[in-house]
Every structure is written in structure tokens, then in C-alpha cells.
Amino acid sequence: MNGDRTLMAIYTPHHPNPNPNMTKTTTPGRLAALAASAVAFMALQGCMSNPSRDIGDEGQVRQAVFPDPARDAWMKEGAFVNMDDLRAIGPGLTKEQLRGLAGAPHFGEGLGGVREWDYLFELRTRDGAAAKCQYKVVFDRAYLARSFHWKPAACADLLARERAGPPR
């Protein structure tokens, strides 16, 4: 019986916690450090996610640079979008309003501090064929949409032509 007690002591030892500070898994200091890390990550991601050249405070760019759809788009085939929704996009829209009209951006723009969103759309031509079009929206410092760019530029004509209706 004495041997049984010894065996039990080996399997169920009682050790006091050597560091009582380790008993709390979430402390205010740890949460603050985690929040600061997340903010730093989002800021860095935003800095790396604006490929266009010289985005001004008012949302104008010297050169709009488009990402490579084959390499960077998460929706490689492009998305069909309601043409009336595309026509409703204009200066002054918030990111939430833009997301409501065109959906989430189709490229890895990042989370915070991002001043441009890129889309890959499939737009219908007059003869019904699908045209692959890239669309870029650039935001001002207040994150309101200010400038809009198409690649190829002829994609903008698809919206204008559709609005005008079929030729007579």
C-alpha cells in the first residue's frame, strides 16, 4: 500500500505556480500591445498597397498603375456587375457606398490607409461579347472617391454607349 501512495504522488504531483503573473491570459497590457501591432500592420499594408504614382490629397494621380489580374486578382475571371450601379459611381462616394455598388475590391488592397481600390469586371459589348475591364477608384485623404480610371480606356465607352441606347 505504501508503494501505491508513492506511485500516485508521481502521477499527481502538486506544484505551486512558480510565476503567479502567468495565470492571467488576457491583461490590459497584452491587449494594448496586440491592438498596436494590428494598427501598425494595417498602416504598413496600406503603404504597400497603393501602386499608383503620386496620389494627391484630393485623390488625383499622376499615373494610375493597375495590378496584374493574372497574378494579383482573387477573382481571375472578373465579375459581371450591374451597369446602372457602375454609372452611379462618382466623386464623393464613401468606401461603404462604393462597396454597395461594385462589391469588394478584387485585388489585395489591404485593410487600412488604402487610397485606391481595383476591380476586374466583365462588361458586355453591344454585340453581347464579354470584355474584360479593369477599374480603379482613387480616394482623397478623407477616403472619399475622387478619380476613376479604366484599363483599357475604351471600357468607359461601354458604359456611355449602353446609356445612350442602341443606334437607330
* Sequence-ordered list of residues with C-beta below 8 angstroms from that of 55, at least 6 positions apart, any chain: 61, 115, 116, 138
Q: Is residue 6 part of a domain?
A: no
Q: Is residue 13 part of a domain?
A: no
pLDDT at 21 exceeding the cut of 60: no
As a whole number, mean pLDDT of residues 64-91 equals: 91
The count of domains in the chain is 1
Rounded distance between C-alpha atoms, residue 56 and residue 53, angstroms: 9
Q: Is residue 88 part of a domain?
A: yes
pLDDT digits (tens, 9 = 90+) for 131-151: 999 999 999 999 999 999 999
**Mean of all residue pLDDT scores within the chain:** 76
Q: Give the model's pLDDT for residue 133.
A: 96
Q: Give the model's pLDDT for residue 2.
A: 52
pLDDT at 30 exceeding the cut of 70: no
Q: Give the model's pLDDT for residue 27.
A: 58
Q: Is residue 79 part of a domain?
A: yes
Q: Give the model's pLDDT for residue 149.
A: 96
Give the pLDDT band (50/70/90) at residue 11.
Answer: very low
Q: Is residue 22 part of a domain?
A: no
pLDDT at 9 exceeding the cut of 90: no
User: Which stretch, 1-15, 36-50, 88-102, has highest mean pLDDT?
Assistant: 88-102
Looking at this protein, which amino acid is placed at residue 75? M
Q: Give the model's pLDDT for residue 152.
A: 96
pLDDT digits (tens, 9 = 90+) for 87-126: 999 999 999 999 999 999 999 876 678 899 999 999 988 8
Q: Is residue 111 part of a domain?
A: yes
pTM of the model: 0.66
Q: Give the model's pLDDT for residue 40.
A: 44
For residue 94, the enclosing domain spans 52-164
Question: Dihedral angle at the C-alpha atoms of 155, 72, 117, 105, nearest 10 degrees?
Answer: 90
Q: Is residue 9 part of a domain?
A: no
